[in-house]
Structure 1
C-alpha cells in the first residue's frame, strides 16, 4: 500500500477553507445552484434569484446597512485560508501536561483562521476588548499579501521589524481602517461560537454604532441580546471642554437567540430566603404575588368570597389577573393564599422548586459587578508593583468575570483574541473558584513591543500576569484544585517548507525538498501542527509509548497514531508496525485509525512499503507521511 505524503500547500496543511465550506452547504441545500466556470464550481446567481424570487433581491446601492471602502476585501480576508502554524512553547507554559487553557502569541486574524478546524462551533463565550480607535492605539494594519511574513515584520521577528501604525483621526480613513480591521475578525469569531454562544465586545461611544451595525450583518439583527452600560470612572475629567464620558459599553450578540436563553446570574441564598412555608405546603417553600392587574378588564372583574366569608373585588381601575375558571383551578390546587386567617386579599403562590436557577441580567451594571478602570489599574499594579508605567485603562476583573458568570456554564470554553494583559484568563479562573467550574480559556495577543520593564512584548506581559494572578488565587484558596495553568503557543510559518522551485537549478531544488520539514523545527512542532490541521483540540490528551525503540503517540480517542522518529530501518519498520498493531488490538477504538510518520525517516521505499503492508494486514488502511 503506497503511503500518501502530506505536502506543504495540501488542504491538510492549510487552515479551514470557509469559502469551500459555504459553497458545500449551499450545494447541499440547493444542488441546482452549482455551475461550472473557468475557476471551477461556482454559484449561478440567476438560479439563486429564481429560488428566492427577484423581489427578494434588493438594489445593492440602496439597501439598509453599513458600507465603507474595503468592505468586500475585508470579507474576503476572513475567507482566505492560512498556511501558518502554532508552535508550542513549553518553557513559557505552566502545568503543560495537565492544563486545558491556551495562551497564543500572534496576530489574531491568522490565529482565528488556524483555530477553525479544532474549535469551530465549540466556544461558548467570546469576550474581546478591541482597540477603541482613539487614534494612537491602532496596531492591526492588515496588509496580508503575504500574511505571515507581514506579521513577522510588524512584530520585529525578521529584518528588525517596522513601526506598527496608529490611526489618527486626521488620516481621512479613521473609521474605515477600524472597520476593515474588525470585520474579518468578527466574521471568523462567529463560526467559532456554539449555537448558544455569545459574543461580548467592550467599546466606547466612538465606534459603538458601527460595531452594532457590523455585528447585525454578521450575526443577524434578531440575535442582538442587548448592551450593558458600566461606569468606568467615578469623577469627571475637568479638562474636557464639552462632556466627560464616565461610561463604556459591552455589546452582546448570540449566535442563535431564538433557540436558547442566556445562563444569567446564579441565584443567591439571600434571594431564596424570602421563600417561606407558613401553611406547611408539602410542595415546599413559596412566596406570593399580587393577583390583580393594573388595568380594567370586564371579563376579569368579578367578586371573590374569602374563606372568612368576606367578599372582595379588585380596587378601582384594576381587575384580577386570571379569569374566574382559572381562579377556581388555582384554589383547588391550593395555589391561592388568603392570609393566615383566611381574610386577606388573594395572592398567587410561587414555589421555590419551580423557579429557574437563574436571575435575568439587566443592562445597567452596578459597580460591584463591573468595577471601574481605577479598580482595574489598582489590581494590575498590585500584581506588578515593580512596573512604574502601568496600563492606564485595564479592564477590571469584575467586569469580565460578570460576563463569564452570565454567559457561560461550568465546563465551557471562553475565548479572548484581544487579550491585552490577560484579564480574561484571571476572570475565568476566579469564576471557576467561586462556582467550582471547569471553564477553559483561549487567549490570543499580538506580541507588540513594549517598554514596560522586563517583558519585551505585550504577549510576554500577558503570560506573566497569568502566572502571578494564578499564584495569588492559589495562595488565597489553597484548597482550590481547579486548572491554574496554560499552554503557550506562538504563531509562525508552517513547519513544512513550501515548494518553491529555482528555475536555474531544478534538480538541486528537488534534492533539497526530499526533506521538506524545516531544519529548525522539533517533533513537538510537527505534532502540534498536525493536531491543529487535522482538527484536534490543542489540549487533547496524548499517550506516549516506546515501541521498537521509537516514541509513538496516540492522540485523544486513539484514532490518530504518530511516530516522528528520524530513522526507521528495515528491521525497525517490521517491529514498529507489529508493536503499533498490538497496541491498537489491546486498546481498540471506534473509527478508522490514521498512522503518521516522517517521510525522510525510512531507510528506503522497501522499509516504507513493508511497514504500510503490515499495518494494513492489521486493519490500518490510512498510513501517511510528512
Structure 2
C-alpha cells in the first residue's frame, strides 16, 4: 500500500525527468543537502548537446575521453548531402520496400533522421572491433590535427583517406578514436528507434566496457535489457599471443531498449527443439533433498514419512525434507513419486511434456545456432571469394529478429558488412510470411587489388553485400518454393547535395553570372535524384511505391498515391499545374526554373489555393 505524499509535486525532479527523456546522457547523480542521492543534470554536457561548437572546459574521466565533445558536435552538425537512387544496381526497384544505402553511416544516419524518426523497431550492429588492425571511420572530429594525422597515417601519400591504417594499442588515441566513432553514431541511431524499439550491439572484449558505458549514457542505464553471450568459437588459437591471456570462446551482444521493461517473443517449441529422452522415457529423476533440521530453520512439519504405496522412507536422523507434505502429495497424486534404493525420487518432465509450448529469450546462444567458423563457411558456400574473415551466422541474427520484431517492422543495420542481417530478415519472412523491411548501410570501402574479392570483380564491400543479398534470396526461394517474401532492395548512394553552391552577395552579381544561375540544380542530377532529395527534405520514407506519367508533354511523378506529386520539367504549362492540383496531393514540388517569371509562380499558388487549399507547395 502506497503512502500519501502529503506534499507538493517535486517540480525540479519532474523537469530533470523531462530532460532525461530527451538527453539521457546529461543525467547524473548528486547528493542533496541531507546526503541522499537524487538525479541531477550535468549542465556542461547539456550545454554541449545544445551547442554547435566545442564548449571550453576540461575533459576528465566520468566516462569521457579526448574528442568526446567534438563527437557530439559532429553528430549534431548539419550536412549538405543527399541520397541518389541507383536503379541499375537494385532488385525489384518499383515494388521492394528494402533499402541498401552506400555511404559513411554517420552522414547517412543524419539524412534518415526525419524520414525514419521513431519508426525502426530493431537495430543490429556489428561495428569494427578495436583489435588494432581494423579500419577506423575517417570522421572529421577525429582528423582535427594535421600534424597528428600525418604521423598516424590517416592519409596516404596522395592525400586520400587510408581506411586500413594501423590503430595500434600503443597509439595515444587507441580507445579515443573508437569511442568517438561509435558515440556519435549511437546518438543518431537512438532517434530512429520506435517507442518499443530495441538495439543489439555485437562486441568483443577489447571495447566491451567502453561500449557498455557509452550505451548506458545514450540509451540510459535503466534501459539495459541484458547481455547475450554467443559461443562464437570452438577451435583454440595456438599462436604466440594466445599464451599471454585467456582465450575467450564467446562474444557479447548488448541489448538496450527504449522501454525499460520490454517483452520479447518466446520461441515456439517444435519437434526439433525437444531434448533427448533419458533411460526412463521422457522423465528426469531427482532425489528429494534433505537439510539439517537443527537451528531456526528446523520445522517439525518437514519431518515426515514418504511412501509411494509400496515402500516408505524417512529423512535421516537430524535432517528434514526440503519439500513440504503438500508438494510431495501432489507428485504422488500425479504418479511422479517412487522409492528407489531407500531414497524418495520425484520424476520431472521436460518443459514440453509439462504442457510448456514456449522457450524464453535466453542470454546465451550456443554453438548450435552457428559459430564464427560455420558462418564463414556458410557465406563462402553462398558467395566464394567474398574476402570476409569474420562473419555472423544467419541463424543468430534471425533469432534476434524473431525475438524483437513483429511481421511488418523495420530492421536497420548501419554496419552492414556482408549483409547477414538482410539475409536473416528475408529468411524469417519466408518462414512466417512476414513483411519485415531491412535498411542496410555500408561504407563503400575499396577492396585491395591483390585480394580475392577484387580479382572476382568486387571493387568494394558494397558490391559484395549486394551480391550476397541477391544470392541469398535465390537460395531461400530454392529451399522454400512456396514462400512469398520481398526479395528486392533499392540502392541509394550518399552524394553531395543536388543543389549548386552559391556564395555570392547581392552586389557581386553580374549579367553573365545571373545567366549561369538560371537553374540552381546541378546539371548531372536526374528527376529521380531530385525526387528522393525531396523525400528526405519532407521526411518521407524512401521505400514507398511511386509512378510517373506524361501530362501535356511534362513528366509527373506521384509518390505513394499522392503523398507527394512532383514535376521537374522546364516551363510547366498551366494545364499541368491544374491537373496536379485537382488530385489534391499532400505535397507538390516543382523546380524554381519551371516557371519563367515571378507572376507565373504567383499564379501557381493561386491555382492550388483554389483547387487544393490543403496542399503544401514548394519549389527547389
TM-score (norm: length of structure 1):
0.74
1:373/1:576 CA distance change after superposition, 3 Å: same
- Give distance in 2, aligned partners of 1:540 and 1:222: 36
Q: Displacement of 1:520 after TM fit?
A: 0.5
User: What's 1:220 paired with?
Assistant: 220
Match for 1:247 among 224, 246, 249? Answer: 249
Structural mapping, 1:453-532, within 5 Å? 453=455, 454-501=457-504, 505-507=508-510, 508-532=512-536
Structural mapping, 1:14-413, within 5 Å? 56-57=39-40, 65-143=62-140, 161-164=160-163, 165-241=165-241, 242=243, 243=245, 245-269=247-271, 316-320=320-324, 338-339=333-334, 358-369=358-369, 371-385=370-384, 387=385, 390-413=387-410
1:171/1:96 CA distance change after superposition, 3 Å: same
2:431 equivalent to 1:438? no
User: What's 1:604 paired with?
Assistant: 597
Contact (CA 8 Å) 1:267, 1:358: kept in 2 or not? Answer: yes
- Give distance in 2, aligned partners of 1:341 and 1:74: 63
Q: Displacement of 1:27 after TM fit?
A: 12
User: What's 2:150 paired with?
Assistant: none
Contact (CA 8 Å) 1:540, 1:555: kept in 2 or not? Answer: yes
Contact (CA 8 Å) 2:225, 2:260: kept in 1 or not? Answer: no
Q: Which has the higher contact order (CA 8 A, sep 6+)?
A: 1
Contact (CA 8 Å) 2:547, 2:558: kept in 1 or not? Answer: yes
User: What's 1:616 paired with?
Assistant: 609
- SS class of match (1:414): strand
- Give distance in 1, aligned partners of 2:247 and 2:306: 58
Contact (CA 8 Å) 1:422, 1:463: kept in 2 or not? Answer: yes
- Give distance in 1, aligned partners of 2:66 and 2:59: 16
User: What's 1:4 paired with?
Assistant: none
- Give distance in 2, aligned partners of 1:300 and 1:114: 69
Contact (CA 8 Å) 1:416, 1:444: kept in 2 or not? Answer: yes
Q: Displacement of 1:227 after TM fit?
A: 1.8
Contact (CA 8 Å) 1:194, 1:255: kept in 2 or not? Answer: no
Q: Displacement of 1:356 after TM fit?
A: 8.8
Contact (CA 8 Å) 1:544, 1:553: kept in 2 or not? Answer: yes
- Give distance in 2, aligned partners of 1:459 and 1:253: 27
Contact (CA 8 Å) 2:70, 2:141: kept in 1 or not? Answer: no
1:305/1:109 CA distance change after superposition, 3 Å: same
Q: Displacement of 1:563 after TM fit?
A: 1.8
- Give distance in 2, aligned partners of 1:423 and 1:400: 8
- Give distance in 2, aligned partners of 1:239 and 1:512: 65
1:304/1:437 CA distance change after superposition, 3 Å: farther
Deviation string, structure 1 residues 328-347 (Cα, Å, up to 9, x no partner): xxx9xxx9993379999999
Which 5+ residue runs of structure 1 have no aligned equivalent? 1-24, 31-42, 44-48, 148-153, 275-286
- Give distance in 2, aligned partners of 1:497 and 1:316: 86
Q: Displacement of 1:413 after TM fit?
A: 1.2
1:565/1:146 CA distance change after superposition, 3 Å: farther
Query: 192-201 vs 227-236, which deviates more?
Result: 227-236
- Give distance in 1, aligned partners of 2:561 and 2:609: 20
Query: 263-272 vs 431-440, which deviates more?
Result: 263-272
Contact (CA 8 Å) 1:155, 1:447: kept in 2 or not? Answer: no
User: What's 1:535 paired with?
Assistant: 539
Query: 110-119 vs 600-609, which deviates more?
Result: 600-609
Q: Displacement of 1:221 after TM fit?
A: 1.4
- Give distance in 1, aligned partners of 2:275 and 2:238: 45
- SS class of match (2:492): strand
- SS class of match (1:517): coil
- Give distance in 1, aligned partners of 2:351 and 2:130: 50
Q: Displacement of 1:207 after TM fit?
A: 0.8
- SS class of match (1:116): coil
Contact (CA 8 Å) 2:595, 2:601: kept in 1 or not? Answer: yes
- SS class of match (1:404): helix
Contact (CA 8 Å) 1:212, 1:251: kept in 2 or not? Answer: no
- SS class of match (1:470): helix
Report the aligned-residue RMSD.
4.4
- Give distance in 1, aligned partners of 2:133 and 2:619: 48
Deviation string, structure 1 residues 480-517 (Cα, Å, up to 9, x no partner): 21011110000001111232227994335444333111
- Give distance in 2, aligned partners of 1:293 and 1:258: 38
Q: Displacement of 1:64 after TM fit?
A: 8.0
2:581 equivalent to 1:578? no
- Give distance in 1, aligned partners of 2:535 and 2:225: 35
Q: Displacement of 1:252 after TM fit?
A: 2.2
- Give distance in 2, aligned partners of 1:184 and 1:137: 19
1:542/1:321 CA distance change after superposition, 3 Å: farther
1:213/1:477 CA distance change after superposition, 3 Å: same
- SS class of match (1:617): helix
Contact (CA 8 Å) 1:594, 1:620: kept in 2 or not? Answer: no
- Give distance in 2, aligned partners of 1:273 and 1:174: 46
Contact (CA 8 Å) 2:86, 2:491: kept in 1 or not? Answer: yes
Contact (CA 8 Å) 2:232, 2:251: kept in 1 or not? Answer: no
User: What's 2:279 paired with?
Assistant: none
User: What's 1:3 paired with?
Assistant: none
Contact (CA 8 Å) 1:227, 1:249: kept in 2 or not? Answer: no
1:29/1:258 CA distance change after superposition, 3 Å: closer
- SS class of match (1:72): helix
Query: 228-237 vs 441-450, which deviates more?
Result: 228-237
TM-score (norm: length of structure 2):
0.75
- SS class of match (1:258): coil
Q: Displacement of 1:183 after TM fit?
A: 0.5
Contact (CA 8 Å) 2:199, 2:256: kept in 1 or not? Answer: yes
Q: Displacement of 1:212 after TM fit?
A: 0.8
- Give distance in 2, aligned partners of 1:260 and 1:546: 50
1:142/1:160 CA distance change after superposition, 3 Å: closer
Q: Displacement of 1:302 after TM fit?
A: 11
Which 5+ residue runs of structure 2 have no aligned equivalent? 1-13, 20-25, 27-31, 45-57, 145-152, 277-282, 292-296, 340-344
